[in-house]
Structure 1
Amino acid sequence: MKLVVVGINHRDTPIEIREKGSFLHRTLIEGIRTLLKEDAIAEVIILSTCNRSEIYVATRNPSEASDILSQFYMTEKSEELEPFLFVKKGRDALVHLYEVVTGLDSMILGEDQILGQAKDALEKSHDINGCGKYLTKMFREAITFTKKVKTDYKISETPLSLSSTAVKHIKRQHPEDYGNKKILIIGSGKMGVLALRYMKAEGFQNPYMTNRTFHNMDECEAIHENVQVVRYENRYDIIPEMDVIITATASPHVILKAENMPQINKPLTVIDLALPRDVEEAVGNIDGIELLTIDHFKDIMDEKMAYRQEIAKIIEVEIQSEIDGLLSWVTHAKVDNMVKNLNEKSRQLANETITNLCGHLELSEKEAEYLAKIVRSKFREMVMPPIKQLKSLDNEEAIIGIEKTVTYLFPEKPAKLVLGDQKNDDTAVI
């Protein structure tokens, strides 16, 4: 198996294009199931966040798989994605996966949220049998490695994510009286809850919160004792009172439209952290409203960023070493699978031979046991030399070549063993 990833990310793809390639839960599940129907694709994981949309697959034909994924994006999402799509295969794809999960490829270096998003992507695929042994191993190893380096190097010791950066931005905007500013958070998912946690930590006293459903408002009230819950249908009514609005929903449609915005009597900052975007672009054209999206935070640096950049260089080296070990595991796993398959084929053919011989010969129980022992021993002897040769291999290309040969010689469903009628035929076909 080889790893292939195709997708778009924040590095060179504008937000209006990124949102065309994003996956909501329903479309993500549909996408995995659609791609699994392709013969060239064995396993699929889709990682879709506000900064990226990436499809990882396990395949025996990387070139064909990458073409399928690129075409999938253009057919199922938008042809506008084509110039922004990147393709990575083999080791390059593995390095990319590790850099994504560790936060080295994030808009905000070393941010924390991507680790949880990678776990979620793995779980969603696993729940519908979208990934097997290969992708599960790759993602789990990247996740385990990330936990280790975050512990070793404290790269995320100071909380840093889009939510925390948005809260810090508000604090910088109002250095003297930020604590008294009224802030409405729309969305009680992970990003919304994180924003509320950071507000509590930074001393914001007047948070408001609303969501289409009230599924976890008790949790929000436990996080910040002053949080005021607003009914979703009343969200426009309280906007004139607000100084800041942060939106972070999973809605496929805009939730704040310019035509529905009330009269604004004081400056209002609207921070849209969602993808697809929550806020209609025209809202930013209303007098007194400053509209910020996730792309506005690309250049914001926190006080720990210089340290993070130095640590990132060290982690990049460790990633290369880690991948060396992982690829070695993959190489030897191929050998282990071939050895297992040869042993299984040997046992299967031996048992079929024993069954056929015992069916044609009149043997006592003791003779049948002896015959079975001899046949199994001879079949075992037959496969032992190739097994020893397989275990001595350490070159991946040689292993792949042998794997193809073994697959050809020992197909998944071998021809049924048939013994000729010994009364009329001196030969027994096996």
Structure 2
Amino acid sequence: MKLVVAGINHKDTPLEIREKGAFLHRTLNEAIRTLLGEPDIAEVIILSTCNRSEIYVSTRHPEAAGKILTDFYLSEKSAELAPYLFVKKEREAMVHLYEVVTGLDSMILGEDQILGQVKDALEKSQAIKGCGKYLTKMFREAITFTKKVKTDYKISETPLSLSSTAVKHIKREYPKDYGDKKILIIGSGKMGVLALRYMKAEGFQNPYMTNRTFHNMDQCEAIHENVQTIHYEDRYAIIPEMDVIITATASPHVVLKADEMKPLHKPLTVIDLALPRDVEEAVGNLPMVTLLTIDDFKNIMDEKMAYRVKVAEKIAAEIQDEIDGLLSWVTHAKVDNMVRDLNETSRQLAEETIENLCGKLNLTEKEEVYLAKVIRSKFREMVMPPIKQLKSLECEEEIIGIEKTVTYLFPGIQDKKPLAEQNHDDTAVI
């Protein structure tokens, strides 16, 4: 199997276009199932965040898979994505995955939240049997590597995310009395909870929270003893009292509309961290309102940025070494596939022989059982010598050469099961 990734990200894709490529929970599951129906795609993981929409697949045919993914984005999401779509294959795709998970490819270099988002993407795919041994291995190795380098380089001691950057921005805007400012967080999901946690750490005394379903509110009260919960329906009424609003919901619709906003008697900063966006663009045109979106944080640098840039260079070099090891694992895993294919071919031939002979010979039930036992045994004996030889291979060049030979001599051996079915076979997926 080989890795292919296609998608869009913050580097060159405007926010309004990234919105069109985003996957919500329902559309994400539907997309995985749809793509698994393609014969050239074996496994699928979709990573959809406020800064990126990326589909990772395992495939035997990278060129075909790349085209399938670009066509899928353009037909199922929007034709407007065309100028911004990228496709990376094999080693380039592996390096990209590692750079994403470590935060080297993030808008805020070295951010922490992406690691949790990658874990969630893996778990969501696993929950609906969207990925098997290959993508699970790739993602778990990238996650493990990221944890290691964050520990080695002490990056976790200065946590970064959009939520933390937003809170630091508020602190810079009100350097003398930020602790007394009234701040409303709309959304009690991960980003909202993170924002509250950072507020507690930075000394903000007056946080308010609201959410359509009020989930996680007990957790929020445990994080900050002063947090006040507001009924979602009352959010517009309390806004004139606020100094700052942070929105971070997973809603497919806007949660703040300009024509619903009450007149203000003091400046209000609205920070929209959601994708799709939570706040109607017209809100930013209202008197006394400053509206910031996630793209406004691209150029915000904090005091630790120089250190993270230096660390990023070291991590990038380590990624290349890590990929070398991972590619070696992939190559040696080809042996497992050839062993599986030989066993499966032997089993199928044995069963066909048994069925054929039992259909032509007038045998008793006892004789049929004996005949089946002998035939299965002989077919297993037939493949044991080549299997032992395969398992003794160590040289990568030999393994690749043998695989090409097996594919040439038995052109249908890898196609005995559809790729989508191989995806769920724990014994063989590389």
Scaled by the length of structure 1, the TM-score of the pair is 0.89
Change (3 A) 1:90 1:231: same
Structure 1: how far apart are the matches of 2:258 and 2:294?
Answer: 19
Structure 1: how far apart are the matches of 2:242 and 2:225?
Answer: 19
Partner residue of 2:396?
A: 394
* Contact persistence 2:347–2:376 (CA under 8 A): no
Partner residue of 2:239?
A: 239
Change (3 A) 1:406 1:333: farther
Structure 2: how far apart are the matches of 1:156 and 1:122?
Answer: 22
Partner residue of 2:122?
A: 122
Cα offset for 1:404?
2.2
* Contact persistence 1:338–1:406 (CA under 8 A): no
Q: Given residue 381 of structure 2, which amino acid in structure 1 is its aligned partner?
A: R
Higher mean C-alpha displacement, 344-353 vs 236-245: 344-353
Matching of residues 160-199 of structure 1 within 5 Å: 160-199=160-199
Partner residue of 1:42?
A: 42
Higher mean C-alpha displacement, 385-394 vs 84-93: 385-394
Cα offset for 1:170?
0.3
* Contact persistence 2:36–2:130 (CA under 8 A): yes
Deviations, residues 340-367 of structure 1 (Å, cap 9, x unaligned): 332454466567768988996999x9xx
2:407 to 389, 404, 407: 404
* Contact persistence 1:339–1:387 (CA under 8 A): no
Matched, 1:109 2:112: no
Deviations, residues 187-211 of structure 1 (Å, cap 9, x unaligned): 0000000000000000000000000
Q: Given residue 92 of structure 2, which amino acid in structure 1 is its aligned partner?
A: D
Scaled by the length of structure 2, the TM-score of the pair is 0.89
Change (3 A) 1:31 1:346: closer
Matching of residues 347-362 of structure 1 within 5 Å: 349=349
Structure 1: how far apart are the matches of 2:410 and 2:243?
Answer: 66
Specify every segment of 5 or more residues in structure 1 that has no aligned partner in the other structure, as ranges: 415-430
Partner residue of 1:424?
A: none
Matching of residues 95-106 of structure 1 within 5 Å: 95-106=95-106
Matched, 1:210 2:213: no
Partner residue of 2:326?
A: 326
* Contact persistence 2:407–2:413 (CA under 8 A): no
Change (3 A) 1:99 1:203: same
* Contact persistence 1:182–1:241 (CA under 8 A): yes
Cα offset for 1:369?
8.5
Structure 2: how far apart are the matches of 1:322 and 1:403?
Answer: 29
Matched, 1:139 2:110: no
Deviations, residues 4-24 of structure 1 (Å, cap 9, x unaligned): 100000011111111111011
Higher mean C-alpha displacement, 327-336 vs 397-406: 397-406
Partner residue of 1:418?
A: none
Change (3 A) 1:106 1:406: farther
SS in 2 for 1:22: coil
SS in 1 for 2:164: helix
Matched, 1:286 2:286: yes
Matched, 1:342 2:342: yes
SS in 1 for 2:225: coil
Change (3 A) 1:403 1:248: farther
Change (3 A) 1:75 1:226: same
Structure 2: how far apart are the matches of 1:18 and 1:403?
Answer: 44
Matching of residues 71-82 of structure 1 within 5 Å: 71-82=71-82
Deviations, residues 283-341 of structure 1 (Å, cap 9, x unaligned): 11111111000011111111111111111111111111111111111111111221233
Partner residue of 2:385?
A: 384
SS in 2 for 1:408: coil
Cα offset for 1:380?
2.4
Cα offset for 1:186?
0.3
Q: Given residue 173 of structure 1, which amino acid in structure 2 is its aligned partner?
A: E
Q: Which structure has the greater CA radius of gyration? A: 1
* Contact persistence 2:182–2:242 (CA under 8 A): yes
SS in 1 for 2:149: helix
Change (3 A) 1:293 1:413: closer
* Contact persistence 1:270–1:291 (CA under 8 A): yes
Partner residue of 1:261?
A: 261
Aligned pair count reads 412
Structure 1: how far apart are the matches of 2:381 and 2:101?
Answer: 45
